Structure formats: C-alpha cells, structure tokens
Amino acid sequence: MTETVASGVLSESAITEVEWDAAVAAIRECAPAGRILLACHVNPDGDALGSMLGFALGLRRLGVQRLRATFPGEFEIPEPLAGLPGQDLLVPESRAYAHPDLAIVFDVAAESRLGGLADRLARARATIVLDHHASNTGFGGINLVDAGAAATSVVAEALLERLDVPVDAEIAECLYVALATDTGSFKFDMTTPRVHEMAARLVAAGVRPGEVSRRVFDSRPFGAIKLLGEVLGRAALDPTAAAGHGMVWTYATQEDLARHGQRPYVMDALIDPVRSVTEADVAVVVKQVAEREWAVSLRSKGAVDVGAVAVALGGGGHRLAAGFTGHGTPGEVVVAVREQLDAHLLP
C-alpha cells in the first residue's frame, strides 16, 4: 500500500506508484492523436457512468482528439443520469473503436461485465482498469484497483490529478454523482473522511449538491412509484435465514415494467426500501432481464459478506453490496442465495 496525493490531500491507496506511473505513461503516449476507448459495465449506474464521463472530459481537456465512451447492451441512459455532462462523447456499442490504441475500463470487476465490448481489450495496444471492487479479477494490462475506495470516481480523480488535469465544474459534477450514488448519498459504511474531503473539493469546483440530489435521487415517474408499491407488496421475510439474522426479498418482472409503462432503470432503486427492513440483515431484489434470467441485487447490514455470496453465484461486488445474474424462477434464485448465507457470515 502506498500513500498518494490527490488535490493536495494525502490519502492511502492500495495502488502502487508503479501502477500509477504506468497508467499516466500509457495515456500520455496515446494523447493527443491515438484512439482512446472508454467503457463501463452493462446497465451503467451512477459510479460507472459518472466516473467514465468525468474522466472522458478530463482527457478532452488534456487535448485528446479521438475519444469515444460506451457501454455494452442497449444504448439507454437511466433518466436520473441523463443530465450528466459529457454525453456528447457517448456512442453505442456498435460505434466503439474496433481497434483502440488504448482502452480504459471503469467500475468493472470482470471482463464478463463488458459483454460484447470485451474483445476490444484484446485488440487494444494497452488497457487500464479503474475499479474499487474487491472481487476484481485483475483482467487489465494496468490495474488501478483500490478496494478501500468508496467509488471508482475516487480512483478517477486521483488519476486526473496525476495527469495534471484541473477538475472543472463539469468534471466535478460527474465525479460527484458517482461518489454520491455509490455511498448512498454519503450514508453507507464506506463514507470515510476521505470521501467527505473529495466531496468538498468537488463542491468547491462548482457542483450544486441540492440540484444533483433532486435530479438523481429524488425524481421518479409516478408509474415508478406505483410499481414500487406493487413490488414491496410481494416482499417476503425469512427471519431464520443467515443463522437467524434474517433475509427479506422481493422481485420485479418485465411484465411489471410494461404494465406501469416504465424503463428497466427504475428497478435499480428497489433495493433501497427493501434493505431498510429492521428484521433482516440481508436484502435481495430479483429483477427480470429476460425469460428465466434475473439481475440480483444483494445488501447486508454487516452480518453477511454478500460480496462473497455473489462471487459464489457467479457475480461480484463488495462486502455489504453485491450482485449476480441468476437463472430460473425468482424463488429458485432466492433459494440459491439463502443456501450461501450461512457460509459467509462475518465475524
């Protein structure tokens, strides 16, 4: 572990000086004429999209001319993130550079999360991965992975600092949204002094926290509220799960979305009210992706390492927040989760 200076603030990082220097050298070698492809995971959340767009704007300030940002799957930006700066740099998967000189990946713990974009890594002359998941497989050529960071945007800000790129209001907004979403509006356990120091720097650069919070966290279509009520109505509590620490779960289907006229992104917020159940340490939300295929969100209040549970089921994440792709019926998916809980109790 080394100590690094980010915006004049001394902080600890799991990333070595050799790795930082290699990333800076790769970017400087590619700028300004090389083709740089930025990518994040399928169904991007605030940290993935915010970190990627904030860094993309930084590269543009650095003078990079040939720059594209993308993510796999359907090219749709979740409505709460539609106001992020830098979206003119976004292109659908089909328009991503086929043979980039440099590929930079954000908030991705394993190549499988890149879907059809994974082949770009093999074709790129160099690859850099910025991430904060403990389950990261180290698939990049240069891996800037700090499992102690609250968000990938923490790593992105530090790399921009090393590239001597000043953080303006637009970059700051992207990084702030990333930081705020992955800390649950600064209320999750990873909200450290380091997090608040970074947030203060971003606010000083021009971020308006109230406006961001209203747009990202406190604005939902009426149909999404109706869907939420329906999904919460089918929640089930299992007080004996996780050695008596309890588990609460529910599910949402494609039919639910269609009935209420909603897009898939609205299901991402379902985990928050479910995880608030007092009688359960573990919260599980099963969201339909396709026939017998489900995106599963896991949360723990501290009794269970849901990151290890997710890894055992083919996914990944953090100790208290993780996810995986399940198959079968919602009940079958939840049974698979329950069977893993006792094996991954935290001391």
Domain residue ranges in the chain: 2-216, 222-344
User: The tokens 């994040």 sit on which residue?
Assistant: 40
pTM: 0.89
- Mean pLDDT within 219-224: 93
pLDDT tens for 10-45 read: 344 689 999 999 999 999 999 989 999 999 998 899
pLDDT tens for 272-297 read: 999 999 999 999 999 999 999 999 99
Which residues have C-beta within 8 Å of that of residue 328, sequence separation ≥ 6?
292
Which residues have C-beta within 8 Å of that of residue 227, sequence separation ≥ 6?
252, 256, 257, 259, 260, 262, 266
> Which CATH number is 2-216 given?
3.90.1640.10
Contact (Cβ atoms closer than 8 angstroms) between residue 72 and residue 119:
no
How many Cβ atoms from other residues are within 10 Å of residue 148's Cβ? 16
> Which CATH number is 222-344 given?
3.10.310.30
8 vs 185: which has the higher pLDDT: 185
In whole angstroms, give the CA distance from residue 111 to residue 116: 10
pLDDT tens for 99-143 read: 999 999 999 998 988 999 999 999 999 999 999 998 899 999 999
